[in-house]
Amino acid sequence: MSKWSDDRFLDSLRESGDPPADDAVARLRAEHGDAAVGRAFAQLRANDSPLPADAPAALTEFMRDAGGLPAWASEARLERGGNAFLQNALPSVVVLLASSLPRGYAAPCLTEILSISRDLEQHPYQRLMGVVQLLVNVSDAHAFGNHGRAVVTAQKLRLLHAGIRALTVTFRPEFRARYGVPVNHEDMLATIMAFSWLVVDGIRRLGLPLQEADAEDLYYVWKVFAQVMGIHPPGQPDDDSLVPATIAEAREFYDAYVRRTNTMPEGNRYGVVLAEDNLHMMEQLIPVVPRIFGLGLAPSLCMTELMSREELARVGLAPMPGHRLLRPLLTGVLRLGQWTGDHSSLAGHLAHLVLQGMVGANRRGEVEFSIPFTRLDLHGAAFE
């Protein structure tokens, strides 16, 4: 057993937040008020656009001081990881929506935070396509360059999480005593695992080919993203001791996280609602005519193939009857969706365009992150 399943170490992660982001949000609010902050932040898109000239100093200084890549990050390996994702874009999105997210809903410490806005319940497309947008931002060919999409997205998410921590005091006053610091390092790591280790695990559960080196490179992208998200010892942005280094460590961490946080439905009513709405959202993504002719069962089939009976039960769901008969069809379709080539290939660009097209069709363009200061501000906010 390593520290990744050591409760004392994991407890320390649960008590760790993001003081620089918290201080920046408090200063923004104190100096400019909620309305002014919202206007300034809305001008900064989740890409490589520069800060507006009239951005508040607190925002400018946080984005400057938050920094970019850790010194140890390898540009070549980040590129390989982006390629590995694009080669598996379709199965990755299927795994994310049909397994990673609902598996996360089994943890009340996550669903309590999500329930503040009830965003998935009232705006399912907005929230779920926000998740796809995050995939696009982090897998982009130049995502980790200077002011790249992944770096800017991480900085904005840090501010968003700081706003959520401030709101939790008002809307979930009992949260701190029950679950530790809101949006803490342990929960953030578990969320990042939804995009990395759980995607790798899901591809393998489907029996699709994925080389070990490609899996490690795919995970490496999200390991670097976790570092840029501030998951490191205070004041030590190059220290990677708080993020699992390999898939084996990621697996050990997530297994421990499930042991520490997951409950059954009776102890997690928000998780059941979120899982049901997630399933309904996936069903609605299928056009009406194919849905009438039976393809509406595809999301239930995907969830049944990707989640164990126990994992389904934790969020109040049951396996789809007869799913084993349809498994070859599902894996055949997803195998066709595994691209070959790299970022410069037509297939790689097409995979990226398909993902961005999903966002454009459902979100009217790119996701805009914002800092929430009231409960209503949380509606439509995309965060994991």
Region of poorest pLDDT, from 44-48, 176-180, 225-229, 328-332 = 44-48
pLDDT band at residue 99 using 50, 70 and 90 as cut-offs: very high
pTM: 0.84
pLDDT average, residue stretch 133-162:
81
User: How high does pLDDT run on average in the chain?
Assistant: 79
Q: Is 146 exposed, middle or buried (0-12, 13-18, 19+ CB in 10 A)?
A: exposed
pLDDT average, residue stretch 322-348: 57
235 Cβ partners below 8 Å, 6+ apart?
A: none
Q: Tell me how far apart the alpha carbons of residues 120 and 326 are, in angstroms, rounded to a whole number.
A: 29
Q: How many domains does the chain have?
A: 1
Asked whether residue 270 is assigned to any structural domain, the reply reads yes
Residue 110 near residue 318 (C-beta atoms within 8 A)? no
Q: Residue 40 in contact with residue 60, Cβ under 8 Å?
A: no
Within-domain flag for 53: no
Predicted confidence (pLDDT) at residue 15 exceeds the cutoff of 90: yes
More confident residue, 349 or 238: 238
Tokens of 293: 């002719």
Q: Is residue 378 part of a domain?
A: no
* Of 43-57, 136-150, 182-196, highest mean pLDDT: 182-196
Flag whether pLDDT at 83 surpasses 80: yes
pLDDT higher than 90, residue 122: no
In a domain, 327, yes or no: yes
Mean pLDDT on 300-329: 84
pLDDT of residue 374: 53
Does residue 376 carry a pLDDT above 80? no
Residue 18: predicted pLDDT: 95
End-to-end alpha carbon distance in the chain: 28
Residue 323: predicted pLDDT = 67
Predicted confidence at residue 128, as pLDDT, reads 64
pLDDT at 65: 86
Residue 199 has pLDDT above 90, yes or no: yes
The predicted pLDDT at position 383 comes to: 32
Per-residue pLDDT, averaged over 212-230, amounts to 95
CA angle 227, 230, 232 (to 5 degrees): 70
Q: How far is CA 294 from CA 283, 298, 327, in A?
A: 11, 8, 15
Q: What number is the average pLDDT over the span 353-380? A: 48
Determine the pLDDT at residue 189.
96
Is the pLDDT score of 373 beyond 70?
Answer: no
pLDDT score of 384 more than 60: no
**Whether pLDDT at 271 is above 50:** yes
Q: What tokens does 130 get?
A: 């926000």
Q: Which of 38-52, 69-83, 213-227, 325-339 has the lowest mean pLDDT?
A: 38-52
Domain-embedded: residue 52: no
Q: From residue 210, give the alpha-carbon distance in Å to each of 27, 101, 138, 221.
A: 46, 21, 20, 16
pLDDT at 233: 94
Instruction: Tokens for 329, please give them.
Output: 């069809």
**Closest CA relative to residue 83, chosen from 344, 361, 309, 295:** 344
Residue 36 lies in a domain: no
Cβ atoms of 363 and 126 closer than 8 Å: yes
- List the one residue out of 47, 30, 29, 46 whose CA is nearest residue 38: 29
In-domain check, residue 306: yes
Which residue segment(s) compose the domain that 244 sits in?
A: 3-17+70-148+164-361
379 confidence band (pLDDT: 50, 70, 90): very low
Q: Is residue 31 part of a domain?
A: no
The more confident residue out of 204 and 142 is: 204
